[in-house]
Structure 1
Amino acid sequence: MTDTERRVRYGGDYNPEQWSVDVWDEDVRLMQLAGVTTATVAVFAWARIEPEPGRYEFEWLDDVLERLHHGGIRVILATATASPPAWLAHRHPESLPVSIDGVRLAFGSRQQFSPSSSAYRHHAMRLVTEIVARYARHPAIEGWHVGNEYGNHVTRSYDPESAEAYRAWLRNRYGDIDALNAAWGTAFWSQTYQSFAEVGVPSAAPMIRNPTQVLDFDRFSSDALLALYREEAAIIRAHTRDAPVTTNFMGFFKDVDYWSWAPHVDVISDDLYPDPADPRSHILSAAARDLMRSLGGGKPWLLMEQATSAVNWRAPNVPLADGRHRLNSLQAVARGADGVLHFQWRQSAVGAEKFHSAMLPHAGEDTRVHRGVRALGAELHDLGDLVGADVPAKVAICFDWDSWRAVEQDGTPATVDYVDTVLRFYEGFFRRGVTVDFIHPESDSTGYSLVIVPAAHVLSDAAVRAMAAVPSRGDALVVTYLSGVVDERLHIRLGGYLGGEGALRDALGIRIEEFAPAPDEGRITLTGDLAGTSDFWQELIRIDDPHVRVMASFADGFALGSPAITVNRRDGMGAAWYVGTRPSTKSMDDLVTAWLSDAGVEAPFTTSITGVETVVRGGRRLIANHLATAISIAMPDRHVELPAYGAVWIDA
């Protein structure tokens, strides 16, 4: 996982415990022919390593690692804690998670543990200690993989140990019960607590739960998983200083706040499975890859898992058409990945994922999928000059887990899909070929010429100041509907939203009097300089600054006559835009053109192009066609012809 050999990592999860020993040498031979550099080993091997408490069987793993090492295959060794064995559930049923309805979940799947379980933690850390002590100096190992997809199946557990851990977390956050009551607004509905002992987890209830209690439990649950990861990582780092530690994120995953995790992960890793049946899946995957790069502060990251074709958990499980596996892989590399790995190397013959595609499918090496795997391995071998290279971006989009969770809670003004809202703005830049970074709302955005703030429902005072600083330093700012409505306690920002009285409202020059969803998300007509259409949302916007220019107004709906889109331009300041509705594709394209002009950012495509992607990394530019038909693309200095799902590298 270093760039010493200047080679893009290639491979995937390898689960030899599912197969007899006579298959292992064949695996190594075929890996070599496919150009595999890296295998992730022992992700789900706890029961094989520790068949009963305290008795460890490592000889088989010794054998596997030696075979891989002899074959030139490097290893990312997993800690095997993602799927506890049957004996743990049998001896410690209290370690099993409890659902929101109070049901104790049973053994027989994976991730069947409560994140706050002391029994799970004790046995997991003992296992990690044994594994690391044995293999810390093994020459095959180039990295460590902790757990697996934290929170994917059990993010929150409502068991007694979790409740006690939650209370401890709250004591640490608030200090005393009066501060908690103030933060949670417990005067409403007679919810006042006299002590922390009275506070429970937000299990199923007759009606809407206290919103701040729910958000705090979301925060706590993410932190509880992070504590598990950090405890394992500390054991690894105590034994070895040179092999990086990682765990696999899952793109836009609501239940775990990756901003809080990223500082503790040596190499950001991601699992991503774009849906081939979704015509916009390439937009989501591009944004997820940009998020991974951004979480690492621009450093290269690792695509830990993807599929070579169909998965096993969608309905239906559509296979990848010819070219799409390569296209997905090159997209990841272009957007900052230094490795392209998969779940998994050899397709399982048994178990819940036996119909999930793999690098080596059931039908063997003489197959469409495996021929594509070998071709991709050869191509990635020739992209070593990109290893370690950065991906430049002058545009940033704020992305916030608190806003995501809060705006999608019950009792809010409308059913809002936060990620879809963010992607609608992201997609406008994607269509122009403009690369975007993601930033935390409180982060310093210096260095970006344009900062977009979509639906930042929760804004702390620090975030308000950070956003107001953008136009103050001369750069362009765009804030959208549903931003700055509440603070981090979910208390309303009184007097006109937008973070309340102060810096951000002053920068925008406006305040919001009222907002509401459009009936049935219906079409809304916009008039003015940026005439067009929008849908879903309307706001009554009041102008407080004479410098504000109305770029579009509502021509119908409850906000008839109110400004819909404004811009505040003052001498010595950058432009500060506000968008009080959800623009149509055409209107968004017009807005992106205006925003790029204000920010002085050049776009590779002079007009918006649907289904085509371009991004620069190192000295190369990837141009990719995500359409099922061939296309001809006019670039500023050349014409590019691409087949369906084709991609080509050109000099940047």
Structure 2
Amino acid sequence: ARIGSKIVRRPLFFTGYGAFGQVRADVPVFPAYGINIIQIEVGPSAVFPAPDRVDLAPVRDVQRVLENAQKAGVAVNLLISPHYMPEWFLQQHPDLRVRREGFLQYCLHAREGQDLLKRFIGVVIPAVKNSPALHSICLSNEPVNLEAPCRPGRILWIDWLKQRHRSVDALNECWGTHYRTFDDVPLPDPFARMPGPVRADFVRWNQEFFAGWHRMLADEVHRYAPNLPVHAKAMTWTFFNDGDVKYGVDAGLFGEFSQINGNDSVNFPNPPGSEFAQGWQLNAMGHDLQRSVLDAPVFNSENHVIPDRYTHTVPPQHIRAVVWQAAIHGQSATTLWVWERTFDPHSDFAGSIMHRPLCAEAVGLVNCDLNRAAWEVTALQRAKPDVWILQSVSAATWDGGAYTDCLAKLYEALGLAGLKVGFVTERQLEAGMLPPGTLFIPNIHHLSDAAFATLRRADTPIFAVSNGPVVERDAYDRLRSERLRTVLLAYSYPGTSAKDLWGRILDRKIGPERPLVWDAKSPLPQRQPVWGVELRAARVQHGWVINLFNP
């Protein structure tokens, strides 16, 4: 950062907007608004408008934005938008038209589409890579992979099954099937019901393929610009929701191809009368998960802080709290949705922050405050977790809402008990990684054998947040003969609340000793902790920094 005439190394927070024409036009005025980053996009259909034509005009437009941004002191994140596949290309390759969900409406398994994306990257990245204003590359927009069976996908599926099970007899034992060879195994249709053991393998294969597809894009970017950071705009709810495990998005696997933890997340104002003023939990939990699997900054490049077409008043305090608290939980860059104005009530831009000057002012002010307190906020980000929660793909596949409800309530309870929460994933356990402190298992009944074997080596407390045994079944729903030694923390689905768990955590004095927020109005002997305030603390050079948040 430049301070006066000096260049100094220090933490820097980026806050701004996406994602269309208005952010490009307003680059020169953004510093006066307290804004220092934007997101823009360019996609293959713009650069390849016809089979025999490469149009460099969209690339030159990006170059002009980068030049203007450099002059203004504004960083630019470039989304390379692989969902904009040229129509002529799909007509040339009709097999790429398959049933899918999400923005990516073509077969991802096929080599033809991947080759065109590589060509596109080969045109764009060399043209922009040397710009000092280029912050990073976003590889995909709200990525999900739910695709009907295709021939290239089946080839990849069979190869994966061979590597995972080694023999068809081993596969049959796990699935309860009677296939004679691997070649007899069909690629399941994710739009139809499938047997549980088959689904367990399909979910993992889909996650690994989708991360590999993104790695292909990342590798191609790094072929031309080895030091250019990349990330993907993964929707944070797809990391957790049992209903979204089908989409193939795994925070840990996405972290393996990223240099920045990319996401798209949501924190809207809650209706009057709600327990909390805003829906803070998803941002906090998603950021903490990502920082647990990749120790790198979080970039929420589509930060939804106001619902589309929302006509009610949004207090600027909401905006400030969203951006500030996201930083406390690991975010170092964000571009808010969306810097556009419209008077069409049906448009996604209706009611946007550009209609709300006090909210826009709050964005700039909180960015200035984050950079003013950058060392202290960074210390809070870097503080080690006090406790860990197990996040499990097997549980999301098998245990449904009884797992995800417990996970969300447990996270909320621990955070409001003054504890910094980290995560350990099932895949990390499979790799032999154990957290160095107290671990909570949130009503998980299914866990892989490799992860279970690692848990058995733990020499720190393990709390089973459940009304009975946990991890008693393997990834294919087979009952284990062994039981894990745990301490029970009572939870019943769906009746137990986050506040119930919070009280039990405080009563048991679980986790390291930490400061609490107390009710000052109560007499000292009967003074009670206050529910609903998050406290984060970290050591700094001359003492402690403490962040209090009352959502």
Measured against the shorter chain, the TM-score band is 0.7 to 0.9
Q: Distance in 1 between matches of 2:348 and 2:308?
A: 10
- The correspondence for 2:360, drawn from 370, 381, 384, is 370
Amino acid at match of 2:410: F
Which residue of structure 2 lines up, in the alignment, with residue 588 of structure 1?
Answer: 501
Please state whether the residue corresponding to 2:281 is helix, strand or coil.
helix
- The correspondence for 1:611, drawn from 502, 508, 532, is 532
**Residue 252 of structure 1 contacts residue 419 of structure 1 at CA under 8 Å; is this kept in 2?**
no
Amino acid at match of 2:109: S
Which residue of structure 2 lines up, in the alignment, with residue 295 of structure 1?
Answer: 293
The alpha carbon displacement at 1:422 in A equals: 0.6
- The correspondence for 1:577, drawn from 472, 488, 508, is 488
**Residue 259 of structure 1 contacts residue 295 of structure 1 at CA under 8 Å; is this kept in 2?**
yes
The alpha carbon displacement at 1:13 in A equals: 2.5
- The correspondence for 2:474, drawn from 477, 487, 504, is 487
Alpha-carbon spacing, 1:5–1:578, altered in 2? closer, same or farther (3 Å): closer
Aligned ranges for residues 177-576 of structure 1 at < 5 Å? 177-186=168-177, 192-203=178-189, 209-253=194-238, 254=245, 255=247, 256-277=249-270, 279=274, 281-297=279-295, 299-311=296-308, 320-347=314-341, 354-355=348-349, 358-359=352-353, 361=354, 363=355, 367-386=357-376, 388-389=378-379, 390-408=382-400, 416-441=401-426, 442=429, 444-448=433-437, 450-470=438-458, 473-475=459-461, 477-480=463-466, 481=468, 483-488=470-475, 490-494=476-480, 500-501=481-482, 504=484, 507-508=485-486, 576=487
Which residue of structure 2 lines up, in the alignment, with residue 141 of structure 1?
Answer: 134
The alpha carbon displacement at 1:479 in A equals: 4.7
Alpha-carbon spacing, 1:218–1:465, altered in 2? closer, same or farther (3 Å): closer
- The correspondence for 2:17, drawn from 12, 15, 18, is 12
Q: Distance in 1 between matches of 2:83 and 2:497?
A: 43
Please state whether the residue corresponding to 2:140 is helix, strand or coil.
coil
**Residue 147 of structure 2 contacts residue 190 of structure 2 at CA under 8 Å; is this kept in 1?**
no
Q: Distance in 2 between matches of 1:195 and 1:469?
A: 37
Which residue of structure 2 lines up, in the alignment, with residue 567 of structure 1?
Answer: none
Q: Distance in 2 between matches of 1:242 and 1:584?
A: 46
The alpha carbon displacement at 1:234 in A equals: 0.8
Structure of greater relative contact order (alpha carbons < 8 Å, 6+ residues apart): 2
The alpha carbon displacement at 1:483 in A equals: 2.4
Q: Distance in 2 between matches of 1:122 and 1:70?
A: 36
Amino acid at match of 2:451: A
Amino acid at match of 1:596: K
Alpha-carbon spacing, 1:235–1:398, altered in 2? closer, same or farther (3 Å): same
The alpha carbon displacement at 1:340 in A equals: 2.8
Larger helix fraction of residues = 2
**Residue 534 of structure 2 contacts residue 550 of structure 2 at CA under 8 Å; is this kept in 1?**
yes
Instruction: Could you tell me which runs of 5 or more consecutive residues in structure 2 were left unpaired when the two chains were aligned.
Output: 2-7, 239-244, 519-527
Please state whether the residue corresponding to 2:155 is helix, strand or coil.
helix
Q: Distance in 2 between matches of 1:615 and 1:56?
A: 51
Amino acid at match of 1:339: A
The alpha carbon displacement at 1:460 in A equals: 2.5
The farther-off stretch of 330-339 and 604-613 is 604-613
Alpha-carbon spacing, 1:437–1:352, altered in 2? closer, same or farther (3 Å): farther
The alpha carbon displacement at 1:88 in A equals: 2.9
Q: Distance in 1 between matches of 2:539 and 2:38?
A: 26
Q: Distance in 2 between matches of 1:32 and 1:404?
A: 44
Matched length:
507
Please state whether the residue corresponding to 1:247 is helix, strand or coil.
strand
Which residue of structure 1 lines up, in the alignment, with residue 242 of structure 2?
Answer: none
Which residue of structure 1 lines up, in the alignment, with residue 61 of structure 2?
Answer: 60
Which residue of structure 2 lines up, in the alignment, with residue 625 of structure 1?
Answer: 550
Which residue of structure 2 lines up, in the alignment, with residue 189 of structure 1?
Answer: none
The alpha carbon displacement at 1:356 in A equals: 5.9
The alpha carbon displacement at 1:461 in A equals: 3.0
Q: Distance in 2 between matches of 1:219 and 1:467?
A: 20
**Residue 338 of structure 1 contacts residue 387 of structure 1 at CA under 8 Å; is this kept in 2?**
no
**Residue 99 of structure 2 contacts residue 148 of structure 2 at CA under 8 Å; is this kept in 1?**
yes
The alpha carbon displacement at 1:407 in A equals: 1.6
Q: Distance in 2 between matches of 1:440 and 1:579?
A: 22
Which residue of structure 2 lines up, in the alignment, with residue 127 of structure 1?
Answer: 120
Q: Distance in 2 between matches of 1:224 and 1:585?
A: 35
Alpha-carbon spacing, 1:137–1:322, altered in 2? closer, same or farther (3 Å): closer
Residues 351-382 of structure 1: CA deviation (Å, up to 9, x unaligned):
996336655x2x4xx73332333333332332
Larger Rg: 1
Amino acid at match of 2:395: S
Q: Distance in 2 between matches of 1:577 and 1:95?
A: 51
Alpha-carbon spacing, 1:445–1:227, altered in 2? closer, same or farther (3 Å): closer
Which residue of structure 2 lines up, in the alignment, with residue 117 of structure 1?
Answer: 110
Which residue of structure 1 lines up, in the alignment, with residue 5 of structure 2?
Answer: none
Residues 174-204 of structure 1: CA deviation (Å, up to 9, x unaligned):
2332222122111xxxxx2223333223237
Amino acid at match of 2:47: I
Alpha-carbon spacing, 1:320–1:434, altered in 2? closer, same or farther (3 Å): farther
**Residue 19 of structure 2 contacts residue 40 of structure 2 at CA under 8 Å; is this kept in 1?**
yes
Which residue of structure 2 lines up, in the alignment, with residue 95 of structure 1?
Answer: 96
**Residue 467 of structure 1 contacts residue 477 of structure 1 at CA under 8 Å; is this kept in 2?**
no
Alpha-carbon spacing, 1:83–1:219, altered in 2? closer, same or farther (3 Å): farther
Q: Distance in 2 between matches of 1:160 and 1:483?
A: 39
**Residue 436 of structure 2 contacts residue 460 of structure 2 at CA under 8 Å; is this kept in 1?**
no
- Normalising by structure 2, we get a TM-score of 0.83
Please state whether the residue corresponding to 2:339 is helix, strand or coil.
coil
Which residue of structure 1 lines up, in the alignment, with residue 521 of structure 2?
Answer: none
Which residue of structure 2 lines up, in the alignment, with residue 39 of structure 1?
Answer: 38
The alpha carbon displacement at 1:119 in A equals: 2.5
The alpha carbon displacement at 1:388 in A equals: 4.4
The farther-off stretch of 349-358 and 154-163 is 349-358
Please state whether the residue corresponding to 1:338 is helix, strand or coil.
strand
Q: Distance in 2 between matches of 1:317 and 1:294?
A: 37
- Normalising by structure 1, we get a TM-score of 0.71
**Residue 103 of structure 2 contacts residue 143 of structure 2 at CA under 8 Å; is this kept in 1?**
no
Amino acid at match of 1:140: A
Amino acid at match of 2:325: Q
The alpha carbon displacement at 1:319 in A equals: 6.4
**Residue 7 of structure 1 contacts residue 387 of structure 1 at CA under 8 Å; is this kept in 2?**
no
